A and B are shown apart, each in its own frame.
Chain A
Amino acid sequence: MCDHKNYREVQAGKDVAGLIFSYATKECADCGSVLWSQKNETQFQAWLGAQRKEHEDKFVVQKVQIPSDLADFAIELAESNHSTTSAVFQACLSFYFIRGASQPELLEVLANVQPGAQPLILQSKFRVKPKLFIKLDASAKLFNQNMNEVASWVIQRVLYAARAGLQSMRNEIEFALAA
């Protein structure tokens, strides 16, 4: 196994939604690996935060499918909170990827939810925060799925659980919409 002892300083690039994050790092001359250090991670998060203002239109989720009954529930949530269904979908994703990351038991509850087989309807595209986009992208690649499939899976389950009153999820979504 390569120990990466023979490395050189390089400028590398990471593609995020067609935008390139450029960073200084080490590249192993023997195996071609590139080091992703904590410094790179910190710089990357700062860069990602700046992209939200400059390139908001790049961080978009498209073709999310949810059953018609859950779409109706999303509309109800949006109207009762003076918000939009796009904001409801983003709140569902934030809830899963941000709060869920610190509560594995919550993710298990959602994994066991069966949203049912109502006819699926296609939602128009909506914007997400860059950090959420990264998590969706990583999950999709990890599980060999498309980003819209992962987003659909999450939104369906969070909406279903919120409607069923599980884990105070409705309150969590409404809190996110009010923020």
Chain B
Amino acid sequence: MRQFLPLLAIVSVCLLGCNPAVDSIDGEMEQAWTLLRGGEGSTADARFARCAVAAKSARDKAWALYGRAMVRVNEADTRMLDEADSFLESAIAADPKGDAAPWAELAVARQLSLRLELIREKRMADPANVAVRSAMEALNAKAEKAYEAVSEKYPGHPAGDEAATYQMTLLLDRVDPAAAGRVTELVDRFAQERPDSPWLTVAYGLRGNACTLRKDPDGLLASALKGLEASHRLDPSAVQDQSWAYFNIASIAEHQAGDFATARTYYTKFITEYPQEQRVLTARQALVRMDACEARMQGVPTTQPSAKGPR
């Protein structure tokens, strides 16, 4: 057996080498995020764990624990979600006033949404199950309150803005006109208080959905137009692609609001600014369709489409 002692010694050295001391928390943490991005969760978790142990500041420790929680958020296993909850609580406790706290608190609320998705999957398998439906409703209400708490605790913070939009989403998830009414109020308040938040474009989209639930096509169109205006103002992309928004506004105006003038304007912008887009023929057909409809209403023969838009 003596001859294997050197092997044992070398293996021991190798094992010790596998857990080297952390030289730079920032570098180590960055590598952990890179690993997580590349789908290597367990290796990332080990690095986050080393960072949490080696952290010299409360801030570093909070972010490392937050990272450990994020490794677990994808799991369908509720035990992993429990672990994530526990890491998030530890992160908040480690540095309650630090810059990780708002994100950790938002993540705690997100955890409720993720659990809601797990129940939603069960409901799909058994739509008539009343108990599952009730559990969903209860969890929806709990998550909505959690988002509201984060948005109120961190006004003007990106995590607060994100929580506010998640709250609106959950209200819409109830498919209830009264809840939808609350969404329009929340969005209007958000627009006043956070006019430069990048979440504003999303909020207007949600407002549009609320108007659909409330059978308010004019409100839907107004929300879409405000969303476009916010996007023009807030999108810092070198090349803004508004093709989707133009077509969407035109389609709402044509088919839901009955506002052919607005529809014509945006179909025309779509065709002119995005001539290579696949839906150009569909937009042209819409112009012809509206011309024909208007002509019929005005008693004009419809053999030739009127020249109100590009062909």
Chains A and B belong together in one complex: no
